[in-house]
Structure 1
Amino acid sequence: MRDAENRRVPLGAAPDDAAVAERLQFTVGRGPCATAEDTGQPVFAVEEDLHRRWPVFASVLVDATPYRAVVALPLQLGMSGPAAIDLYFRRSQDVLGLDVFEAMAVGELVGSALSDAAVWSTWSAERGPEWMHGPTPQRRLAVWECVAKVAMELEIDPAVALVLLRARAYAEGVTADEVAADLLAGKRAARDLGP
């Protein structure tokens, strides 16, 4: 989903392999989840489709996780804007067994619950909703903090800083989240990302 600044932030992922898959998709910047969120349409991608439509994501997904297919369902969150939920499959043929209508109904229920929580929960504008304070969203918010820091230090646009961060992560075979954590911890400098 998107935060108040319109930045993509995951709410959570389970099991651990799904969390890795989400971080990889964010690192490469493209994939089924972003497509479902951007288009508002469900995305069904078996391994062949992943390699054809998102070759970089498919390569890292297959190398780092047991997943071979992804179904991404768009969520309509009302005031919070678009979001998506990913379902990962270990075997491409398992996508055929997915009841599309049930999956879409679950997606609508999740979207409705999140929308209701956004409308009816009491939270301050400074703190934001409680779900943004879990470990998964906090890890991504640290990436966005790092992007702002890199942009300021290198005097570049934040979009360019994100590209540099992602490129460094991809080149090193790690996630953008890991590179950002190192930068924020002082283990590496913004200039190391270099244009």
Structure 2
Amino acid sequence: MEEIKIGSSLSFGSYNWRVLDIQNNAALIITEYMIEQHPYNNYAGDVTWADCSLRKYLNGEFYNKFTAAEQSRIIPVINKNLDNQWYGSRGGEDTLDYIFLLSIEEVVCKYFGDSSKNLENRSAKQRYWFQKKDQNNDKRRSTFDGYVWWWWLRSPGRDNRRAVYIHGDGNIGIQGNGTFRYSSNTIHPSTGDNCGGVRPVFWLNLEL
């Protein structure tokens, strides 16, 4: 078996994954590309990651797509859900997740290069977005069905009717997009849908 290391790719279930981190014989993996489109929440109104429909889907219907043997390798974790750094909207309760989305802190400071200066030192021009020339934008770009598209993070946007997302150019929409209705009028070419892409994440036991 090929050595698994940070940055390597692997197949698990019906999907291709990228290794983001390795700790204690477990690998944190994210789908190589967006695999589906979903709303963050199926209803309008304030919501946090703990209570949103997308979390319920990932830890229910999506989790159940894996075989029993595969499920035995998915490690449940406690996720911290911090308030939005720019706007103070609630991150909500800590959550016990088998499968989850990355937070803005994980995307900005850890797994796609270190752009923490843009998160922690907001400039006058950064009302809604990170700098378009951020050196790590390209690392955050992804596609769905071969087309560049935007994808959800679990962190709250400027209020709890929005969630943070990664724009198609890799820039970070820290003000968020609507969890139920979306700001963008752009329609995905192959699906006719304008909702966000999903890149599931989980910790995989490497010992089994």
TM range (shorter): 0.3 to 0.5
The structure carrying a bigger strand percent of its residues is: 2
**Larger RCO, structures 1/2 (Cα 8 Å, 6+ apart):** 2
Question: What's the TM-score once normalised by structure 2's chain length?
Answer: 0.31
Question: What's the TM-score once normalised by structure 1's chain length?
Answer: 0.32
The structure carrying a bigger helix percent of its residues is: 1
Q: Which has the larger radius of gyration?
A: 1
